Structure 1
Amino acid sequence: MEAVEVESKGSHGGDGDRRTSRNDRRSSWGCTLLLVNNCLQNTSYFGLSTNLVNYFQVELHAGSKSAANSVTNWMGTSSITPLAAALLADSFLGRYWTITLFLVISVAGYGLVTASASAALQSAVFYAGLYLVALGGALSPVMVSFGADQFGDDESERGKQSSFFNWFYFSMNVGSLVGGTVLVWVQTAHGWRLGYGIPALLSVLAVALFMAGTSGYRRNQPPGGFPATRIAQVVVAAVRKWDVEAPDDAAVLHECASDDGVSTIQGSRRLVHTDQFRFLDKAAVETEGDRRVRPASPWRLCTVTQVEELKCVLRLLPVWACGIIFAAAYTQMSTTFILQGDTLDPRLGSFRVPAAVLSVFDTLSIMIWVPLYDCVIVPLVRRLTGNSRGFTPLARMGIGFVVLTITMLLAGVLEVARRRVLARHGTYIDADGAEYVPMSIFWQVPQYVVVGAAEVFTFIGQLEFFYEQAPDTMRSVCSGLPSVAFALGNYASSAIVAVVVRATARGGRSGWIPDDINDGHLDYFFWLLAVLCVGNFGAYLVVARWYNYKKTVD
């Protein structure tokens, strides 16, 4: 019997190992399809958005101001809809069905945009398709959360999960590079029908690839219901019990007495009690009134996990807020960097390089830094820290903050050098009447390359951090928080510029950022941004030190 029993155990172990290996291969195949899908989606999106203002002007005969407003309104909508998709995924549909639904919507949108090239109701059809794309293409936070769901919670799986975030961002940038260059060239050289038809075909392919991986996806995260309701219940219950004393012993709080590790919230693991925001613990104190009414109303008595969900969100907010100043400095790549580049010598042989094109070096930098980080930096740091991911997400984001500060310093140094060349040699006017400082525009390349490094550390670190530290049933929504910080960062940048212009252009002075920056001091503006970055990093260090990582009852 003993021999038979040993043989049986060995056979069972072998079957388990084979099943685990088979599941790992299926999960790996599913993640690969998700990365390709993400690349296709971004190729389609940037193939549509990059040259969109020209379509409004050429095909819809809109004026410059109207075309610009139409594009910014559409892009604003595209920034809001990801949170709607994330909320739908976390609350009701789940991530798989949300992705499926929104991919189909995007196919309809790209189809209408393509049809508008020859439709009689061109404007109406185009706008309908455009806003369907804004809705259907709002999948980044849901897609990244669904991809991260394919990995387990043990330490070895976390290393693979961290790698997935790197390659997700990589695939996004490959798509933006192809869409913003190749597809824009197709639109210019071969017309809008083909230029928009290719994104439509790619969106169909994205649906097909996503569906093809269905059998390989892990779909073990069910929707947990509307999170705002649970948060409101904690606040209301805590306020109702404002005169109740929060106990020092967390074991007496509602749910803590249970040792089964199961949360009453569908799709959520139980969370370990933390001492921060102790006022909210009152919501989980069971009073005599709660004991008399069974079951107790969740508006009077909440579980510890429900309370800790709100605490998780509150802890995330300061980290999220530090990303706003980061985004405000980062967005200079599409504003003041271009203003600076417009004054430099754009010639490369017989070609002229527009200043805006240099942003391609940011994308190329990302495409170099991601494999370098994943394949070289992480293994080296892992040996030093013993952490399977190399850096913790908080440390990784902090490094990105420092790197972006270096970018602002580089831009300021280049501006000082540019002004010196301007003072010594003046400006040069070529045969076409273009005026520029006799200094190559390619001196800007280093600052674009360093921006790419900052993105790899901070933006990808944000993807990983907000997914990992969010409550289980709010991961898609919290994964969308960095995009909100990015949008607010753009508004903050506009506000900083407005304040600087008003403060420095008094008394007839040209100020730091005049219409002709040769008369201004753009270097001072870059120094200001560097100081803001340093101050923001200091605040981030305080927040990171205060931060209490989420723990589950396992």
Structure 2
Amino acid sequence: MQEEELVDGKVDWRGRTAVRHKHGGMKVSLLVLAAFAFENMATLSLAVNLVSYFTGIMHYELADAANMVTNYAGVSYMLSIVVAVLADTLIGRYKSVVFSGSIECVGLALLAIQAHYRSLKPAICNLYDQNAVCEKIKGNHEAFLLAGLYLLAFGSAGLKASLPPHGADQFDERNPKEARQMSSFFNGLLLALCVGGSVSLTFNVWIQDQKGWDWGFGISTIAIVFATVTFAFGLPLYRIQVAQRTNSLIEILQVYIAAIRNRNLPLPADSEQLYEIEQDKEAAMEIEFLPHRDIFRFLDKAAIERKSNDIQSEKQEIPSPWKLCRVTQVENAKIILSMIPIFCCTIIMTLCLAQLQTFSVQQGFTMNTRIAKHFNIPPASLPIIPVAFLLILIPFYDQICVPLLRKLTGIPTGVTHLQRIGVGLVLSSISMAIAAIIEVKRKGVARDNNMLDAIPGVQPLPLSIFWLSFQYFVFGIADMFTYVGLLEFFYSEAPKGLKATSTCFLWCSMAIGYFLSSIMVQLVNRATKNVTASGGWLAGNNINRNHLNLFYLLLSLLSLLNFFVYLLVSKRYKYRPQSPEVRGVDSQ
């Protein structure tokens, strides 16, 4: 076996150094993509249809149900940070996926049990009968619902946190060919989402609406079992990133503490005088080295060496990491700090996405859902339109557009990560503007036909549900650019010990977006309660009497303003410098 066939920093399942042509690569990453597809098959239908479950079965009001969905999604994405830190520093990404898949199975099983047994649900009631008194779920039964829901959230968080970085670990960034394959892998993640999502948005939604939610949750449970087993099957073939002995988040914190302690020390004119351990070939294989950059200079004070008698006793040889940090450690802190503005600029996009998963579905229930003589499309299945389009667009973009753009720009990924993200942010603003226009048309049809108080699902408006497909279509393309671009951006820019944690910046951004959606709905209702007869733009269960069009327009304007802020932020961003070892490989 030749030494160059070994992959430094990665091991096989027995702890031996991974071999390039035996472990990892694109073929092995297909198992990760398959697991990701099964996970989305299980959960995507819930994201778009749980509002119907909470309102129709559990008798929550529409705004409360929408907030429950966004809170569940927000908690799930936020928990991904916790799981990612554990995966990076303690248990490893492989074990994290298997453990999280098991937790998600338990959560879905609990929801299936509650959906099956009538004694665990409130009495059947027609929410649209003004004379009916519908009691929503409460007490122990509500606790049972929340237990299953948030176990599902925790398990889903773990899979989202660990699957993408584990798949990226199957490639060597220092190898030009594998670096391009890794870019294709990230595009493949969205393709896997679309494949699983297409089944979820059609078959799963139909099962939930026609056969019952117990069957729907049961099928989702089976899908997660398949996801976990499929992933585990590849254990002998994976390149496994060994969990770091030190917590990289702690190392980032040490930089700030040391910089504060050394705040009164003058910065040396020559950056070579800043502290760094001696770099040699043996250290280079185990320890990351980054060159100094003249940004965020205040953090450089963490690497200023004091006189030995000031910083340590004569018996102590190693300086305290809370008083003195390596240049590479400081540069990693700079990278994380410089990514935060990019992170913040993507929150508004998820705020828009949350509306497509909640209020847009409720719009669909008021419209004509017939697409054939004897077939009606469930409103929650509307996202299948952009998903089906993306099934064609993603391979076209990855196999045709990227190679052409690569020849024009010289960039391995065709365009930079930040350019790709920016395109998606523009499209999200356009999507919300389209949603506002469509809602004006929908309400106009209801008003013209004296159907403002029509019962959704029973008295459909003479307007096809496919009018809503325009906003889903545009936002689906925005997904392809922004969310995939963010995953690849955070993974490629992050320090070695924060690969899984950094990809969770995307999920954390989405979590804040979902939480912000819940807050936004409440704030809008409070601000407009004296302006409208219904008590607020989004108050009550009658969407025909609401002012959803104004809410969509507000989101479109916020998204546009957010894009201009992003332009300023991205223009100032400087990409992570490659270490000398990486540059040497790339130049070959």
Classify the TM-score, shorter chain: 0.7 to 0.9
Correspondence 1:297 to 2:320:
yes
Alignment of 1:415-426 (within 5 A): 415-418=439-442
Correspondence 1:283 to 2:283:
no
* 1:7 paired residue number: none
Shift of 1:458: 0.5
Shift of 1:53: 7.3
What is the distance in 2 between the residues matched to 1:174 and 1:446? 20
CA 1:208–1:518 in structure 2 vs 1: closer, same or farther (change >3 Å)?
closer
Judging by fraction of residues, say which structure has more helix. 1
CA 1:345–1:185 in structure 2 vs 1: closer, same or farther (change >3 Å)?
closer
Shift of 1:369: 2.7
SS at match of 2:576: coil
* 1:255 paired residue number: 276
What is the distance in 2 between the residues matched to 1:426 and 1:271? 68
**Aligned amino acid, residue 139 of structure 1:** L
For each residue in 1:411-432, what CA deviation from the matched residue of structure 2 results, as whole angstroms up to 9, or x when unmatched? 2333454566567666599999
CA 1:107–1:95 in structure 2 vs 1: closer, same or farther (change >3 Å)?
same
CA 1:286–1:133 in structure 2 vs 1: closer, same or farther (change >3 Å)?
same
Q: Is the CA contact 2:367–2:463 (under 8 Å) kept in the aligned structure 1?
A: yes
* 2:564 paired residue number: 538
* 1:469 paired residue number: 493
* 1:311 paired residue number: 334
* 2:137 paired residue number: none
* 1:240 paired residue number: 261
Shift of 1:230: 1.4
What is the distance in 2 between the residues matched to 1:85 and 1:45? 18
What is the distance in 2 between the residues matched to 1:299 and 1:226? 14
For each residue in 1:62-91, what CA deviation from the matched residue of structure 2 results, as whole angstroms up to 9, or x when unmatched? 554699587666555433332221010111
Q: Is the CA contact 2:168–2:185 (under 8 Å) kept in the aligned structure 1?
A: yes
* 2:168 paired residue number: 148
CA 1:89–1:54 in structure 2 vs 1: closer, same or farther (change >3 Å)?
same
CA 1:118–1:348 in structure 2 vs 1: closer, same or farther (change >3 Å)?
closer
Q: Is the CA contact 1:82–1:140 (under 8 Å) kept in the aligned structure 2?
A: yes
Shift of 1:196: 4.6
Q: Is the CA contact 1:312–1:550 (under 8 Å) kept in the aligned structure 2?
A: yes
* 2:203 paired residue number: 182
Alignment of 1:81-480 (within 5 A): 81-107=79-105, 131-137=150-156, 138-153=158-173, 154-186=175-207, 195-255=216-276, 258=279, 260=281, 262=283, 269-288=288-307, 289-290=310-311, 292=314, 293-338=316-361, 340-342=363-365, 344-350=367-373, 351-418=375-442, 427=451, 438-480=462-504
What is the distance in 2 between the residues matched to 1:33 and 1:529? 38
Q: Is the CA contact 1:90–1:224 (under 8 Å) kept in the aligned structure 2?
A: no
What is the distance in 1 between the residues matched to 2:87 and 2:145? 28
What is the distance in 2 between the residues matched to 1:421 and 1:184? 27
CA 1:129–1:547 in structure 2 vs 1: closer, same or farther (change >3 Å)?
same
Q: Is the CA contact 1:345–1:440 (under 8 Å) kept in the aligned structure 2?
A: yes
Q: Which shows bigger deviation, 44-53 or 370-379?
A: 44-53
CA 1:201–1:332 in structure 2 vs 1: closer, same or farther (change >3 Å)?
closer
What is the distance in 1 between the residues matched to 2:530 and 2:507? 36
Q: Is the CA contact 1:251–1:257 (under 8 Å) kept in the aligned structure 2?
A: no
Alignment of 1:18-57 (within 5 A): 23=21, 26-46=24-44
SS at match of 1:139: helix
Q: Which shows bigger deviation, 428-437 or 226-235?
A: 428-437
Q: Is the CA contact 2:88–2:500 (under 8 Å) kept in the aligned structure 1?
A: yes
For each residue in 1:295-322, what CA deviation from the matched residue of structure 2 results, as whole angstroms up to 9, or x when unmatched? 1111111111211222111111100000
Q: Which shows bigger deviation, 528-537 or 538-547?
A: 528-537
Shift of 1:202: 3.8
Q: Is the CA contact 2:38–2:196 (under 8 Å) kept in the aligned structure 1?
A: yes
CA 1:228–1:247 in structure 2 vs 1: closer, same or farther (change >3 Å)?
same
Structure 1: 5+ residue stretches without partners: 1-10
* 1:549 paired residue number: 575
CA 1:117–1:465 in structure 2 vs 1: closer, same or farther (change >3 Å)?
same
Q: Is the CA contact 1:345–1:437 (under 8 Å) kept in the aligned structure 2?
A: yes
Shift of 1:111: 5.9
What is the distance in 2 between the residues matched to 1:120 and 1:446? 39
What is the distance in 1 between the residues matched to 2:321 and 2:489? 30
* TM-score of the aligned structures, taking structure 2 as reference length: 0.79
Query: Pairwise CA RMSD of aligned residues?
Result: 4.0
Q: Which shows bigger deviation, 279-288 or 244-253?
A: 244-253
What is the distance in 2 between the residues matched to 1:148 and 1:297? 34
* TM-score of the aligned structures, taking structure 1 as reference length: 0.83
* 1:8 paired residue number: none
Shift of 1:452: 0.5
* 1:3 paired residue number: none
What is the distance in 2 between the residues matched to 1:508 and 1:134? 36
What is the distance in 2 between the residues matched to 1:519 and 1:409? 20
CA 1:21–1:101 in structure 2 vs 1: closer, same or farther (change >3 Å)?
closer
Relative contact order, CA 8 A, sep 6+: which one is greater? 2
For each residue in 1:201-258, what CA deviation from the matched residue of structure 2 results, as whole angstroms up to 9, or x when unmatched? 4434333322321222112443242233212221221111111112232211111653
SS at match of 1:271: coil
Correspondence 1:488 to 2:512:
yes
CA 1:168–1:131 in structure 2 vs 1: closer, same or farther (change >3 Å)?
same
Of all paired residues, the percent bearing the same amino acid is 35
Q: Is the CA contact 2:81–2:504 (under 8 Å) kept in the aligned structure 1?
A: yes
What is the distance in 2 between the residues matched to 1:550 and 1:49? 35
For each residue in 1:465-494, what CA deviation from the matched residue of structure 2 results, as whole angstroms up to 9, or x when unmatched? 111111111111111112221122233334
**Aligned amino acid, residue 150 of structure 1:** Q
CA 1:35–1:267 in structure 2 vs 1: closer, same or farther (change >3 Å)?
farther
What is the distance in 2 between the residues matched to 1:206 and 1:431? 39
Correspondence 1:528 to 2:559:
no
What is the distance in 2 between the residues matched to 1:458 and 1:422? 35
Q: Is the CA contact 1:165–1:463 (under 8 Å) kept in the aligned structure 2?
A: yes
Q: Is the CA contact 1:427–1:438 (under 8 Å) kept in the aligned structure 2?
A: no
CA 1:54–1:417 in structure 2 vs 1: closer, same or farther (change >3 Å)?
closer
SS at match of 2:472: helix
What is the distance in 1 between the residues matched to 2:380 and 2:571? 39
Report how many aligned residue pairs link the two structures: 538
**Aligned amino acid, residue 527 of structure 1:** L
CA 1:504–1:187 in structure 2 vs 1: closer, same or farther (change >3 Å)?
closer
SS at match of 2:320: coil
Shift of 1:344: 4.2
